[in-house]
Structure 1
Amino acid sequence: MQLPAESLVATELIEVVRISALPAKRGASYPGRAVAHWVGSEATDVLTLIQTLPGSEQHRCGFSPGWSIRAYEESLGPVLFEAAFCFNCHEVRMHGLTVPSALATQFFDADTPPARALLAIFRAAAP
């Protein structure tokens, strides 16, 4: 999976969100509760893991993401990017300041070890 290259260098904090609904409008943040904040090597390790997610074809489920990450730079200003993951249809939708339109919708193989590891990390973050 591809992440915005500009964001990889600038990301200082990742916020993990347990999504509770779809956003009211396109490009808005996914509603939900922040369950964790990762910095330093923890943030870097998760971004590296996400980049190893192998591509896949689209599966049909209607896109019902359960988790998202929001990447912030040091100033904690606007979100560099938010990526919402649906492990049912294998789709990731991204938006934010650094997301080119070519990366906005991607598909990953949710049945691979990297994807299962990412889902386990998300689940472990929720209290």
Structure 2
Amino acid sequence: MTEQQKVSMPGRLIGVLVVLAIQMIGNGFLGWVLIDELNEDAEHGSSMDGAGGYYFIGYLSVAIAFVLLVCAVLTISPRAWVRPVIITVEAVSIVSGLINLVNGAVASLLGIVIAIVVISTLLSQEVVDWYQQRR
């Protein structure tokens, strides 16, 4: 009988959870505000062309917030599939930041750096061990 060692949560992973919480709140709130504004405009008859795309972005932001919430909760009691999901969300964040950077939004550089730090943390061996301790 082999004895499994219990791996404690790495300290850097707590920082990742804080970043995920901030991203979750930001995505959820901004998505909700966008959807609310579009609904209010539609109620007053001033719907704009291309509103469907903005609705998509709003609902996508809320969905990403929900995914981040699930990932944060399942990081506390680790599941192996959570780490690749977080890495994918952060990779999308990097691509989005690069598009914004090309369009002149220099502030998106901060989001790119944060996403890179989160991904590099999730790729460290101690964090990999944390997620894989329970399969």
Say yes or no: TM over 0.5. no
Higher helix proportion: 2
TM-score by length of 1: 0.29
Higher strand proportion: 1
TM-score by length of 2: 0.28
